[in-house]
Amino acid sequence: MEELKSKIICECGQKSIEDAITIFKATTLPYKKAKKLVTECNQTCCRRPLMALFNMIEFGEVDYEEIAFLIDQKNSRYGSEDENE
């Protein structure tokens, strides 16, 4: 489980899943603005895993395996599978 928590959710901001959870829990901003706190950019590269994580936090339960799966999908789509090598 700790391995999943430390998985990088966004390369732009170099934030892990655990970092993103901390940021999302500490803000009352809507998703679009809270996302910028995690990504530190305006890109849409990490939209699916971040939006899913934001919604999971809002509803009170985080599925780390699902978030990791969405990150892996994003990485394979963008060709940045360097953490899987």
Distance of CA 26 to the CA centre of its chain: 15
pLDDT per residue as tens, the chain (85 positions): 778 899 999 888 899 999 999 999 999 999 999 999 999 888 888 899 999 999 999 999 999 999 999 999 988 876 644 444 4
φ and ψ at 24, to 5 degrees?
-65, -40
Q: What is d(CA 41, CA 38) in angstroms, rounded to the nearest whole number?
A: 8
Quote the pTM value: 0.83
What was the pLDDT predicted at 2? 77
The full DSSP string for 21-47 is HHHHHH--S-HHHHHHHHHSS---TTH
